[in-house]
């Protein structure tokens, strides 16, 4: 069995979860930002995951000849509406006294963080299991 494919799949999963975690961290960090360095309002990030099909030959196993490798792409949520908060003393308040904060749902972002951390842990466990299997195969092959 080609253990490198198992490592590749789990490593791609680790990358996806790191991207999800980075995007959620950026959104949480900017949830109370009224404007960015260039003066525009912060637009929350969203992560879209999809997969690329790669050839995969599992010798002696009926696993098929293809496997989906996950990858993530980050885009901005242009459709998210800003949250208006009444703060008449804030320097960025409009004429009515409302401040426009980014449309970041911090509760959902924390759920995304927890989900990404758990999935990251699952991928590290899968890598450890594949490594243990490969080491055991080497031990068996060497006659030890």
Q: How confident is the model at residue 61 (pLDDT cuts 50, 70, 90)?
A: very low
Quote the pLDDT of residue 85. Answer: 94
Does residue 110 or residue 76 have the better pLDDT?
A: 110
Answer for the pair 51, 71: CB distance below 8 angstroms, yes or no.
yes
Which residue is associated with the tokens 């792409």? 73
Q: How confident is the model at residue 106 (pLDDT cuts 50, 70, 90)?
A: very high
Quote the pLDDT of residue 144. Answer: 56
Is residue 62 predicted with pLDDT exceeding 80? no
Report the number of distinct structural domains present in the chain: 1
87 lies in which domain range? 3-142
Does residue 63 or residue 74 have the better pLDDT?
A: 74
Q: Where does the chain have alpha helices with state H?
A: 3-29, 106-142
Separation in Å, CA 139 to CA 5, 17, 19, 132: 20, 33, 36, 10
Is residue 4 predicted with pLDDT exceeding 50? yes
Average pLDDT over residues 68-97: 87
Residue-averaged pLDDT of the chain:
85
Does residue 72 or residue 34 have the better pLDDT?
A: 34
């Amino acid at each position: 069995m080609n253990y490198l494919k198992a490592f590749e799949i789990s490593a791609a999963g680790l990358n996806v979860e790191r991207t999800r975690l980075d995007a959620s961290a950026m959104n949480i960090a900017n949830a109370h930002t009224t404007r960015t360095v260039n003066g525009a309002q912060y637009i929350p990030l969203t992560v879209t995951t999809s997969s690329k099909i790669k050839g995969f030959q599992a010798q002696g196993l009926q696993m098929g000849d293809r496997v989906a490798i996950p990858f993530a792409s980050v885009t901005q949520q242009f459709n998210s509406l800003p949250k208006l908060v009444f703060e008449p003393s804030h320097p960025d308040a409009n004429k009515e006294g409302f401040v426009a904060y980014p449309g970041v749902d911090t509760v959902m972002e924390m759920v995304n963080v927890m989900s990404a951390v758990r999935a990251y842990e699952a991928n590290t466990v899968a890598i450890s299991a594949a490594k243990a299997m490969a080491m055991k195969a080497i031990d068996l092959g060497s006659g030890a």
